[in-house]
Amino acid sequence: MEQNADQLALFPLGLVLLPSAPLPLHIFEQRYRLMITQCIEHGTPFGVVYAGHESTQTIGCTARIERVIKRYENGTMDILCVGEHRFRTRATHSSSEPWISAAVDFFEDRDLDRRDELAQLARDAVKQLELYAAVVGGSIEREALLELSPQQLSFVTAASSMFSLEQRQQLLELQSAVKRLTIVRQTLAGAVARRRMARAAQRVIGKHENIDHLLN
């Protein structure tokens, strides 16, 4: 991976893309149809940055286009992308193209050499995922998750609905896989505890009572 790029096409969206996470998109706006078409033709990624209510973040993640799912007669398209590399925007600039481009610096975690600690945290996180799935009556693909690197697992898990957009952005920005996996494990453990409490309360007060407030 290059350390920086002088011109990365940016796609501000109301979501946080994380490395290794899938991203299905429906491309309908003209300028982004042109941008995506160019990315497909040249085999280049584009950058996704979270555009919230008040501002657009400067730290984002590149998206690699895996495939075009469907093209429509009006020129819109459905595509599937996957998050790749995190970046920090150095400067945005205008060009002859109708979309925003930026000079960016890519960055990685600084503690990937702490392999034993990361491996244990990853096992703990998968265990919490198993417990959560059991509580809600589901299941997980345990072996597939354990085949992921601890860094990949931290991002894939953080992409779940248990994390708010703001939390995902914070995890995206962290340069410590240990810290990120620790937060993921703690969040999962908290979700398991709340679900168990809600189930116990449900047995006491009855199945027809609304207990959604107990899950918050």
129 and 70 share one domain = no
Counting every residue, how long is the chain?
216
Let me know: does 57 contact 172? Beta carbons within 8 Å. no
Q: Based on the fold, state whether residues 119 and 204 are members of the same structural domain.
A: yes
Model pLDDT for residues 106-164, shown as the tens digit of each residue: 999 999 999 999 999 999 999 999 998 888 888 889 899 999 999 999 999 999 888 99
User: Do 75 and 32 share a structural domain?
Assistant: yes
- 68-108 pLDDT, tens digit per residue, is 999 999 999 999 999 999 999 999 877 778 999 999 999 99
pLDDT in the model for residue 179: 97
- The last residue of a domain, from among 62, 79, 106: 106
Same domain, 96 and 24: yes
Six token digits for residue 159: 């992409």
Nearest to residue 180, comparing CAs of 127, 110, 116? 110
Per residue, the 3-state secondary structure of 74-94, as one string, reads CCCEEEEEEEEEEEEEEEEEC
pTM: predicted TM-score of the whole model, two decimal places = 0.87
Which of 106, 135, 166 terminates a domain? The answer is 106
Same domain, 99 and 16: yes
Q: How many independent structural domains does the chain possess?
A: 2
- Name the domain boundary from 106, 138, 165: 106
Q: Same domain for 125 and 96?
A: no
SS3 helix, strand, coil % of the chain, rounded to 5? 40, 25, 30
What band does 215 get if pLDDT is binned at 50, 70 and 90?
A: very low
The closest of 103, 101, 100 to 89, measured between CA atoms, is 103
- Nearest of 104, 108, 102, 84 to residue 18 by alpha carbon: 84
165-175 per-position pLDDT tens digit: 999 999 999 99
Whole-Å CA distances, 6 to 46, 87, 94, 105, 204 = 13, 12, 12, 9, 61
pLDDT at 43 over 60: yes
pLDDT at 1 over 70: no
One domain for residues 102 and 121: no
Count of CB atoms within 10 A of residue 148's CB?
16
Tokens of 100: 């925003």
Is residue 119 located within the same domain as residue 209? yes
Cα(62)–Cα(166) distance, rounded to whole angstroms? 18
